[in-house]
Amino acid sequence: MREQSISRIGAVSAIVGSVLALIVNLLHPRSASLEKPEAFLRMIAESTIWIGDHVGIVFAVLLVTGGLVGIAHSITDERGAGWAHLGEVGALVSAGVLCVLMATDGITIKALATAWANAPEAEKAGMFRVGHALALINSAIFSVWTTVFFGVTIFLYGLAILRSAAYPKWLGWVAVLASIGSALIGLNLAYRGPSTLVANVLFPIFSIIITLWVLVMGILLWRKAG
């Protein structure tokens, strides 16, 4: 009964979290050129949904994390359970990193960008350097989160599915392949810094694929709990 309850709660969390994640991902403001820090900061300063969207991301990821916990507990085969529980640890660690990222990238940088945009000309240069430095820090944390969550964590869940009989094997392959692409995105950000192509094109594609994967897994988890 306890495992059934965990599965039901996890299924609802996965379904609701993935739908919310799709919405906030599509609504997230994106700069036309991340290689131009001034344009990026101005976009943040002018955005009316920046903070709200990032708060939505926090709730989405926390719900998805709950879903991943439920999925991990539903894989009881001896060959797959170990990988699933390692993935569960990765999901929990990633949720903590994401909360830190949303505090800096979702709230702090909005205040800095707004202050920079409205500052007197004599103060703009100094405030811009602070804002640009924070943007680079956010990019670094984002690269770590992308690598650990979309990369390592989802890869471990993919291995768990492939090693067990709990879910269709094709879902395991989707997780493995999408996680490898996501890890490469995270490493690219770590080594090369912010990139319009990576942040505005490649990351949305892979994040949407993995979000849809979580949605399908949540539906199957609900059926298993029933």
pLDDT tens digit string along 61-111? 999 999 999 999 999 888 899 999 999 999 999 999 999 999 999 999 999
pLDDT of residue 2: 65
Span 144-156, pLDDT tens digits: 999 999 999 999 9
The whole-number average pLDDT for the span 35-60 is 92
Asked if residue 67 lies in contact with residue 217, where contact means CB atoms within 8 angstroms, the answer is yes
CB contact set of 212 (below 8 Å; sequence gap of 6+): 18, 22
Q: What is the chain's mean pLDDT, rounded?
A: 92
Instruction: Give the percent of the chain with pLDDT over 70.
Output: 98
For 156-171, write each residue's pLDDT tens digit: 999 999 999 999 999 9
* Res 1: pLDDT: 57
Report the pLDDT value the prediction gives residue 52, as an integer from 0 to 100. Answer: 95
- What's the CA angle centered on 220, arms 216 and 224, to 5 degrees? 165
Joined together, the tokens standing for residue 142 give 């984002």
Residue 89 CB: number of other CB atoms within 10 A?
12
Tell me 34's DSSP state.
Answer: T
Please enumerate in sequence order all residues whose Cβ is within 8 A of that of 57, keeping only pairs 6 or more positions apart, or say none. Answer: 21, 24, 28, 98, 102, 106
Enter the DSSP assignment of 167: S
The C-alpha atoms of residue 75 and residue 68 are separated, in whole angstroms, by 11
pTM for this structure? 0.92
Q: What are the domain boundaries of the chain?
A: 2-225
Contact 158, 179 (CB under 8 A): yes
| Angle between the N-to-C axes of helices 78-101 and 121-145, in degrees from 0 to 180, rounded to the nearest 10 | 170
The DSSP-derived string for 195-219 is -HHIIIIIHHHHHHHHHHHHHHHHH
Query: What is the residue type of 192?
Result: R
Q: Does residue 192 or residue 153 have the better pLDDT?
A: 153
Assign 184 a pLDDT band (cuts: 50, 70, 90). very high
Residue 7 and residue 74 in contact, taking contact as beta carbons nearer than 8 Å:
yes
What pLDDT was estimated at residue 181? 96
Confidence of residue 207 (pLDDT cuts 50, 70, 90): very high
Rg (CA), the chain: 19
Q: What is the mean pLDDT of residues 187-198?
A: 88
